[in-house]
Amino acid sequence: MSELLTEDRGGVRVLTMNRPDKRNALNHALTQALLTALHAAEADEGVRSIVLTGAGPAFCAGADLTEFKELTPDKAHLVESRAELTMKLHGVFSRLSKPVVTAINGAAMGGGAGLALAGDIALMASTAKLGYPEVKHGIVAAIVMANLVRNVGRKAAFELVAAGEPVDAARACTLGLVNRVTAPDQLMAGACALAEKFAAVHRPAMAATKQLFYRVLDLPFEQALEEGRDINQRMRAFRQS
């Protein structure tokens, strides 16, 4: 059985994490498959937007702890390579030119919460929960913290990673972690409809919008204005008639 299912719905590519018996926990194979699939979607001219969700009752339980038992200090090369792969996966979303909608169908914990927030826009089932329980296991919500602090205020972000308590969908929406909360049976329809709306946008305009959005997040105000000016000048070349 494939760790990751791929389905094209017109210009929308749906990626479904497919380890339902493991609550879609991120082992090495699924992590690599996700990274490869996202790069493939970016390279495919027929794909204009992406939806990421999970099979079964969970979105993603985070790291596969059974596999992580092998990542011990005496196997430094394995520890380093896995951390590098995880970093690449969580970092790729903002570098894609195509928008990614995450459809959070169930529990999104740790690395799973990181994936939920890594997308450009997130829809969450009303029955789902999201959290960073790493501290309760004596570890740190490390790589996922970069996206978390860019999606929510400092006080809320610190509480999430320091207390390790999950939040329900209503609270996640209030905090700005997700865009919308839907009934579970309407989640995929809503996510795909939104992805189709993005797919219909003039492609160069969408790519430039996403590029500028993530660029200005980390720039001082004056530099952000200058980046906006440069895009403003460039967009005349790809403007639709």
Catalytic residue among 45, 134, 159, 227: 134
Bridge partners, residue 53, by sequence: 16
Long-range Cβ contacts of 150-156 (<8 Å, 24+ apart): 150/217, 151/117, 151/176, 151/177, 152/176, 152/177
Q: What residues contact residue 66 under an 8 Å CB cut-off, 6+ apart?
A: none
Surface-to-core class of residue 191, CB atoms within 10 Å of its CB (0-12 exposed, 13-18 middle, 19+ buried): buried
For the chain, count helices (H), then strands (E): 10, 9
Q: Where are the alpha helices (DSSP H) in 12-63?
A: 28-43
Q: Is 42 a catalytic residue?
A: no
Q: Is 97 left (phi over 0), alpha (psi -120 to 50) or beta?
A: alpha
Q: How many CB atoms lie within 10 A of CB 130?
A: 25
CB 55 within 8 A of CB 24: yes
CA distance 147 to 94: 10
Q: Which residues are catalytic?
A: 134
